[in-house]
Amino acid sequence: MYKKILIPLDGSELSVLALDYAKNIAGQLGSVEVFLFHVYSQEERGLAAMHRAYIERAVETISSHLKASGQYADIQSGFKGVSVRGEVAKGHPVDKILSFTRNNDIDLIIMVTHGRSGLSRVVMGSVAHKVLLTSNVPIWFIRAGVTKEAIKDRLPIKAILVLLDGSKLAESVLPHVETLVRQYGAKRVKVVLLRVYESHLIESGFPPEKPPGSPPVISMGWEEHARKETIKSRLNAKAYLDEIAEQLKKAGLTVRTEVLMGDPTEKITSYLGKNLFSVVAMATHGRSGIGKLAYGSVAEHIILNDMTPFFLVRPWHFNSS
């Protein structure tokens, strides 16, 4: 289960968005520790007191909300709700975030992306992108510019869209999805498994060559061949998702599947536009970051153009070495 959440803050308006979102996620997860983490540079060491005051105000902001909602941990009464701590560090943001994550057994990081420039230009410059490349801890990305209405529509967590492409890499996100759903409440959260297949109809090799001297064979036309291949691809994709869905159902999750044909970016974007999800979950390849996700650059496109947050997992066995 996710017990320790790290929220890096840089003092910008984007940090406020992270707080608004995180206090709801933390409250729904139940008994968790939230660490608000602020890194300042060597050049700002003379302003250490100011940076500490900033993080203390952030702690008070999220703590007040949780206390008002009855979700704040109360040591005296023994209520194990959400506890909030603030930490500051001096140095390079990426190094400090990664070291803090390791040293404090953080198991989930919440960060905000910059909506206009993608994951290469995020909070604190390229920090989130670099953390994604090197951290084995799942990262919950929220798009900058998301409205309060969009947040309200997606919280509490009610539906998770899981993107799969048939690879083991993509499937590595499934244990994390199961953990999230169990922690939120298996009966309250629905899971949708989505696979998009592209129609790769190559004319070479059709019709198949026949051995010299063999009798003529009445072959189907190209259109009929294409139709049958499309049906075959769809059935294979459906069978693949159904097998995974059955495993998740046995674990107590509520699951359904969706199979779409066409360009992944276009189809997934359109699907999200027609269906409201609290979060999209998928795996990323550590060596190339967002550019080598299960669906290529689909995630980056969606993050730039849709209000739905992303839950990204870098599989530990796909290291960056």
* pLDDT tens track, the chain, 321 positions: 889 999 998 876 666 677 777 777 877 787 789 999 999 888 877 788 999 999 999 898 888 877 877 777 655 544 567 888 999 999 998 899 999 999 999 999 998 765 444 444 444 346 777 787 778 889 998 877 777 777 778 878 899 999 998 888 889 999 999 999 998 888 889 999 999 987 654 444 455 566 666 665 555 566 776 677 778 888 999 999 999 999 999 999 999 999 999 888 889 989 999 999 999 999 876 444 444 444 446 666 776 677 888 898 887 644 433
The domain segmentation of the chain, as residue ranges, is 1-145, 157-321
Give the residue from 320, 277, 308 showing the smallest Cα distance to 140. 308
Correct CATH for 1-145 of 3.40.50.620, 3.40.630.10, 3.90.470.20, 3.60.15.10: 3.40.50.620
Look at residue 6 in the predicted model and tell me its pLDDT: 93
CATH (residue range 157-321): 3.40.50.620
pLDDT of residue 127: 75
The pLDDT, as a whole number, for residue 321 is 36
Task: Give yes or no on whether 1-145 and 157-321 have one common fold.
Answer: yes
Q: What is the pLDDT of residue 315?
A: 74
pLDDT at 257: 97
pLDDT of amino acid 13: 64
